[in-house]
Structure 1
Amino acid sequence: MYAVIVNPLSGSGQALSLAKRVMQRIEQSGHKGRLLHCYALENLATQLKHAADAGVTNLVIVGGDGTAHQIINRLPHLDFNIGFVSAGSGNDLVRSLELGTCETEQIDIALFTPTQDMPLGRCNGSYFLTSVGLGFEGFVAHRVAGRRGGRRAAYHSAILGSLFGYHPHRAKFVNCKWKSDEQFLMCSVANSAFSGGGYKVAPNASLQNNELSLIRLAPMGTWSRLPMMFKVAKGAHVSAPEVQQVNLDTLEIRSETRIPAHIDGEPFFANRFRFSSANETIRVRCLGLR
């Protein structure tokens, strides 16, 4: 049995009509399905448990990265076959999965394609699918949250509006093999390459392994920041002297002040971040992992 889970507010409200088309395809194929609305996060875990108890083994998530993040973290267990149909404003997860190029193909892949194991990351006890961004990246996510329209255009606007006056943060970075205490402008711990609606923040990150990729941008002069952001958008920044890239399994970041951050595009604040490759996977219906 299938359950189609949709945030009706995703994609400026277009996600609900898309979810109904997914339900039609399920019925055409002779399978049973139910449509679940995730308006209220406090009720989502209960809805998912009821669906599992009713025999649902296949989930189709219709929405963006934030919707996928909220659902994965409220599943009663990870033993589902999960498909994704993009209807959000960011859709960075979709860029890291081979899900087809048109709506009809994407729906059929989400429903019928054999699954592949996709690794998850953890931050402060929560799973993440794409990345966690700190500092300037987190600040931009806070500014973009709630805006309508394309996430990439909103990111461009937020970056240009705050890039030149943004102040670096100081934090301690602790790994089992090294530690450092330094300032940074922006930091990302990534499970996949894309963030911010298509920015290739962590070009060396891959869903094909069980490692996380740390990307850290050191403080830089005001007029160096905009050219760096253009490089980040294309994934051409890793070789720059201001950038550190490390693959790792665990990391702790500690700061005396709260740092703006996002997890799969969902904004939050914290002064301590504990990361690990979760050594857990979800079964995803896709043509391949990037």
Structure 2
Amino acid sequence: MSAYSMVTSPGPAVHRTPDRRWLRLAIVAGALAWAGSIWALAAAGTYDTVTPAFLPQALAQDLVNLVVAAPTLVVCAILARRGSVRGLLVLLGVLGYTVYNYVIYVFSIPFGPLYPLWTAVLGLSLFAVIGGLRSLPAASIAARFRSERAARVAAWVLLVVAGLFALIWLREDVPALLAGTPQGSSVDLDLPTNPVHTLDYIFFLPSAFLVGTGLLHRRPFAYPATAAFLVFMIFTCVPIVVTPFVQAAIGQTPAWSLLGPIGALALVMLGSVLWLLATVTGKSEPADAATVRLGEGDGVAVEGEDKI
């Protein structure tokens, strides 16, 4: 019996034919992000106007986009079109990461030749996220999670990691507010405020607490949302881990101290989300309780493992 169906009946079959254009938007966003990262890394002067503290972060972000994020976005969009539940959940997490990442690109990096491309990636990713959430069959997907223990562990991992980041940001921001001074990190980046802190206060932290507590209370939306959120958080950790290596490569003093704590958090979240996704089965209880279409041509696969 699934973790979700232990406390609620799956109900009647859900037959949907959502608009699958959002999956096409995701594929185009991934392709443009990949091309933009190549351009940013290959072209001279892309980040000439950013501060020395900002430069390795931007380069690390481009490397991660090129090697990991953009390819994952395209591959998971293709898997989701074929009906993969796991592909769909990972896709939503990577899309959230892409929106988060390109908000920083568009609003924090001085205007230049890549601005139109970055804006396009942000817009495509944002509308893809909206389309994906709008068409997400949360209840039927929730019924496919088979381990209550894996779900509870994932919820606590999400809540604890979000709490740790909240404490880290507040440790910097509260003293600055009380002293009437700018954030130290925003001064280093030569920005009015730290965009990561701002995005986390507005989006990441409240959403993470909402989703984590929702999963502890077995809310249907929280099952797919927790998996997607953990993927999002893992991807946000990867550029932080890569940054010290970039600093070393460009002749700066590497911040090796980041590798231990951030790497450990990423590994814990990776283990948690892999366990959670491993519990996803191909059919809910009863067997025909959730039949969902991604659109004409995508097919319906209720009996197979990891299929919508």
TM-score by length of 2: 0.21
Q: Which has the larger radius of gyration?
A: 2
TM-score by length of 1: 0.22
Q: Tell me which of the two structures has the higher relative contact order, counting C-alpha pairs closer than 8 angstroms and 6 or more residues apart.
A: 2
Structure (1 or 2) with the greater strand fraction:
1
